Amino acid sequence: MRDEGCVVRFERHSKNSIEDFTGKDFTVWKFVGGTMVERSFGVTISSRRRNKSTMLHRDIPQWWLPIGTKPTTISGKVLSLFS
């Protein structure tokens, strides 16, 4: 996504980092209307874990992406954070 110019920066947070404990597995930056905007989200392949994470981190989107999820689906979800 960064190579295509859709986002400016994409960061995966380290396991057991402060961000990880707040439900942020990834943070993405993008220009929206000339302003740099930052969005974070959590990801899991377990629907059960997603439900627990959603309860723990209500203000951070938590996504269930099962194995085999298409890259276009993931890109669409990331870009939807900015709309």
pLDDT tens track for 62-81: 999 999 999 999 999 999 99
pLDDT digits (tens, 9 = 90+) for 5-35: 788 999 999 999 999 999 999 999 999 999 9
- Predicted local confidence at residue 44, as pLDDT: 92
Domain definitions of the chain by residue range: 9-80
pLDDT band with cut points at 50, 70 and 90 for residue 3 = low
Find out whether 82 and 30 touch, Cβ atoms under 8 Å: yes
Query: CA quadruple 13, 17, 19, 25: dihedral positive or negative?
Result: positive
Q: What is the residue whose two structure tokens read 């929206």?
A: 32
Q: How far apart (Å, rounded) are the C-alpha atoms in residues 60 and 41?
A: 6
